[in-house]
């Protein structure tokens, strides 16, 4: 379905996006305070910037006239790779930062200052907030960048070429 020449760029830029999200995520997990939730949204915004940089790099490699469909598809694939890697890293980091997450009773790593609406679970909604930002947040921010950059970065806006990513 996809050309093999693009797979390495999807993995590279998806990995860079995941690393960009995971750095603020690690800081958030070490603080364990609901007030630090903004760090997760900062990670989402950094993912948007990295995916935007990927769109610009892909457009530049195609002579600043890459197919819009190619850039949109490539941006979404890199975003999905970033989401998968971010969720795997989050699943590994949770037991490291909160060792008693799977034991009985209230966790010592529960969110401090969390409002009652976040959940009554063992960690006061920390796991839910973390995985929602890693999935929905990254997808929304990455998709925004994947849709906006291809339509604004092309030099020739009058005619679009056939997609090079999808084998039609």
42 located within any domain: yes
Residue 166 has pLDDT above 60, yes or no: no
Structure tokens belonging to residue 50 = 């990295």
Of the given ranges (6-15, 45-54, 93-102, 158-167), which has the lowest mean pLDDT?
158-167
166 located within any domain: no
pLDDT, tens only, 48-80: 999 999 999 988 888 777 788 888 888 999 999
15 located within any domain: yes
Of the given ranges (95-104, 113-122, 136-145), which has the lowest mean pLDDT?
113-122
Q: How many domains does the chain have?
A: 1
Q: Which of 164, 153, 1, 154 is nearest to 70 (CA)?
A: 164
Residue 113 has pLDDT above 90, yes or no: no
Point out which residues pair with 112 in neighbouring strands: 33
104 located within any domain: yes
Report d(CA 35, CA 48) in Å as an integer: 22
pLDDT at 136: 95
162 located within any domain: no
Residue 95 has pLDDT above 90, yes or no: no
pLDDT at 1: 40
Residue 155 has pLDDT above 80, yes or no: no
Q: Which residue has the higher pLDDT, 73 or 161?
A: 73
Calculate mean pLDDT across residues 4-16. 87
56 located within any domain: yes
85 located within any domain: yes
Asked if 111 and 126 count as a contact pair (C-beta separation under 8 A), the reply is yes
pLDDT, tens only, 14-35: 999 999 999 999 998 888 777 7
Cα 25–chain centre separation: 11
pLDDT at 126: 78
164 located within any domain: no
The single-letter DSSP state of residue 112 is B
Domain of 41, in residue numbers: 4-153
Which contacts (CB < 8 Å, 24+ apart) does range 82-85 have?
82/13, 82/14, 82/15, 82/17, 82/18, 82/21, 82/47, 82/50, 82/51, 82/138, 82/142, 83/18, 83/134, 83/135, 83/138, 83/139, 83/142, 84/14, 85/14, 85/15, 85/18
């Amino acid at each position: 379905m996809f050309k093999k020449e693009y797979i390495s760029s999807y993995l590279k830029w998806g990995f860079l996006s995941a690393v960009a999200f995971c750095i603020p995520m690690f800081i958030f997990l070490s603080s364990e305070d609901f007030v630090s939730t903004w760090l997760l949204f900062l990670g989402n915004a950094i993912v948007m910037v990295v995916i935007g940089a990927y769109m610009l790099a892909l457009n530049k490699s195609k002579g600043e006239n890459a197919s819009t469909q190619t850039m949109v598809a490539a941006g979404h694939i890199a975003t999905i790779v970033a989401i998968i890697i971010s969720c795997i890293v989050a699943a590994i980091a949770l037991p490291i930062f909160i060792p008693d997450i799977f034991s009985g009773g209230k966790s010592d790593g529960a969110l401090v200052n969390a409002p009652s609406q976040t959940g009554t679970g063992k960690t006061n909604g920390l796991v839910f907030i973390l995985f929602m930002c890693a999935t929905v947040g990254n997808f929304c921010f990455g998709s925004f960048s994947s849709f906006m950059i291809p339509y604004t970065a092309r030099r020739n806006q009058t005619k679009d070429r056939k997609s090079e990513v999808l084998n039609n």
